[in-house]
């Protein structure tokens, strides 16, 4: 079969290497309890901790969490500023734990719109965990999939203008390498909690062949059981990457034979 090597590996892998989550439903979770929306965001932090620990246990290589979209600035000013404060507090509080648990933290998105204080905190947190080689935890903050593509396009245009690259030679690899989420890579499993069935401008480029999983569970309630169900659904699916089911089965049988041969 003529699948690129990365996709051959993805077909073979039962477990997702890269899981991305649209953590939705905090506001409704709080409202159902007669509380302010912020109460839901605070409860959502506990869920983040739980998801990071579960992903580590499962041996997932990277986990990308959508924390704040480029469209979320449209929310009431009070909610936006409370979210920024929460982000600041959580970064300060959790960085040591991440460091000790060998988690490498990366923030993706246009962080230039954040306060100086928050930008500094982000830089510190990234630096302190940079040499960790366990789970890569990407937090998407002021992130938008279209922004990411536009950003990469601007850089490509600059390269062409300077004569470093011929426009005709532009490839998928060039674009991938220039995106802020370049280090994020292709997503295997995209989960959205909260019951809505949309991407909301998350990782558009990187989810081209992701398996999509929608859960009705609101983010603060998304526990190991709910995460486990998403993983089980992924494991039961056949990823074909444009091939036929028969081709995929043949590839899996070939791989099995090779493994038996070298066992």
106 DSSP β-pair partners: 138
Q: How far is the CB of 39 from ligand IPE (least distance, A)?
A: 11
Spacing of C-alpha 192 from chain mean position: 11
Longest dimension (CA), the chain: 63
- Could you confirm whether 151 is annotated as catalytic? no
Counting DSSP H helices and E strands in the chain, the numbers are 9, 6
Residue among 24, 148, 186, 188 flagged as catalytic? 24
Within residues 50-89, the interface with ligand IPE by CB under 6 A covers 66-69, 72, 83
What residue spans of the chain are helical by DSSP H? 5-12, 26-32, 37-58, 77-100, 116-129, 145-161, 172-178, 224-235, 245-262
Could you tell me the smallest distance in angstroms from the CB atom of residue 103 to Mg ion? 26
Q: Rule CB under 6 A: which of 188-207 touch ligand IPE?
A: 194, 196, 198, 200
195 is in an annotated binding site: no
- 221 belongs to the catalytic site: no
Positive/negative CA dihedral, 130, 104, 84, 74: positive
**Considering 13, 72, 216, 260, which one is annotated as catalytic?**
72
# residues near ligand IPE by CB under 6 A: 17
9 to 28: interface string for Mg ion, x by CB under 5 A: ---------------x----
* Angle separating helix axes 5-12 and 245-262, nearest 10 degrees: 80
Task: Considering the complex, state which of residue 82 and residue 132 has its C-beta at the smaller distance from ligand IPE.
Answer: 82
Active site residue ranges: 24, 72
Q: Using CB under 6 A as the criterion, which residues of the chain lie in contact with ligand IPE when the complex forms?
A: 22-28, 66-69, 72, 83, 194, 196, 198, 200
């Amino acid at each position: 079969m003529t699948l690129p090597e990365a996709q051959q590996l993805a077909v073979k892998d039962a477990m997702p290497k890269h899981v991305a989550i649209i953590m939705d439903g905090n506001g409704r979770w709080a409202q159902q309890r007669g509380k302010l929306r912020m109460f839901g965001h605070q409860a959502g932090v506990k869920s983040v901790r739980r998801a990071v620990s579960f992903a580590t246990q499962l041996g997932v290589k990277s986990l990308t969490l959508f924390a704040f979209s480029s469209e979320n600035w449209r929310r009431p000013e009070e909610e936006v500023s409370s979210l920024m404060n929460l982000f600041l507090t959580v970064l300060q509080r959790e960085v040591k734990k991440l460091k000790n648990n060998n988690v490498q933290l990366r923030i993706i998105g246009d962080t230039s719109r954040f306060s100086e204080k928050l930008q500094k905190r982000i830089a510190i947190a990234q630096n302190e965990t940079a040499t960790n080689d366990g789970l890569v935890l990407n937090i998407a903050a002021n992130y938008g999939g279209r922004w990411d593509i536009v950003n990469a396009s601007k850089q490509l245009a600059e390269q062409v203008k300077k004569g470093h690259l011929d426009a005709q030679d532009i490839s998928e690899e060039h674009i991938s390498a220039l995106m802020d989420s370049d280090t994020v890579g292709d997503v295997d499993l995209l989960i959205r909690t909260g019951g809505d069935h949309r991407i909301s401008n998350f990782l558009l480029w990187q989810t081209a062949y992701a398996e999509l999983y929608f859960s009705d569970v609101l983010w603060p309630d998304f526990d190991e059981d709910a995460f486990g169900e998403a993983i089980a659904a992924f494991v039961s699916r056949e990823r074909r990457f444009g091939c036929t089911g028969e081709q995929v089965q043949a590839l899996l049988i070939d791989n099995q034979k090779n493994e038996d041969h070298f066992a």
